[in-house]
Amino acid sequence: MFKKDISPGAKSKVKSSVQRAIRTKVTETYPLLAPHIDEIIPKKSQLDLLKLPDRVTLYALDAEPLFFQHMDDALIPHLRVVHQFPNCFSRVRIDRGAIRFVLSGATLMAPGLTSPGGRLPSGKTEGDAAADDPDSRYDGRELEEGEVVVVEAEGKEEACMIGQLRVGTKEVKDKKKGVVIDQGHYLGDGLWRMVMD
């Protein structure tokens, strides 16, 4: 979606009622962000709305991108927000072989998640996971089609991509092939490099 460099289009201020609706939608979609919502979008702040190519809307605060939305799809946090609050999102992990493809804007395919280095939610509840297991953060409920998910890379600290699942994680485990995320925001893409003034 953001493979090429993009320049922001028309910029306008968001009405306070719309801003309240955005805050509510963010806390409903990402319940773990609720304690941090005043940090992300303070009540007395003024959000800016920027029009981007391909019918994408970007919400920014003080020239800092926060969330983007393609038409009427879900509000997706910018990777800078994900890096600031890494434990507030559902996540999957790709293996080392898929990293270069994801960072070049390729579609995320199931083999990158189902191979030995990849991780998908196990379907275990939080209480079933071993506390000292580093992969326990991938435990939890199976993710459904259309959910926003953070993609982490094997051996790396920060998330490298965020996007909406095209298929549920249970189906990915069963089929082990096919497209998982076809459009997303990744490190180094046009949205990441975009300069807002």
**pLDDT score for 196:** 77
**pLDDT score for 100:** 93
Kindly give the confidence (pLDDT) of every residue in the chain, 197 residues in length, as a single tens digit, with 9 standing for 90 and above. 788 888 878 889 999 999 999 999 999 999 999 999 999 999 889 999 999 988 899 999 988 999 999 988 889 999 999 999 999 999 999 999 999 999 999 999 999 999 998 999 877 765 554 555 566 677 678 999 999 999 999 999 899 999 999 999 999 999 999 999 988 899 999 899 988 77
**pLDDT score for 183:** 85
Token output for 34: 């609720």
How long, in residues, is the chain? 197
**pLDDT score for 9:** 82
Token output for 190: 């046009």
d(CA 56, CA 2): 10
**pLDDT score for 126:** 56
d(CA 185, CA 82): 11
Backbone angles phi, psi at 136, to 5 degrees: -65, -20
Token output for 104: 């070049």
pTM across the whole model: 0.89
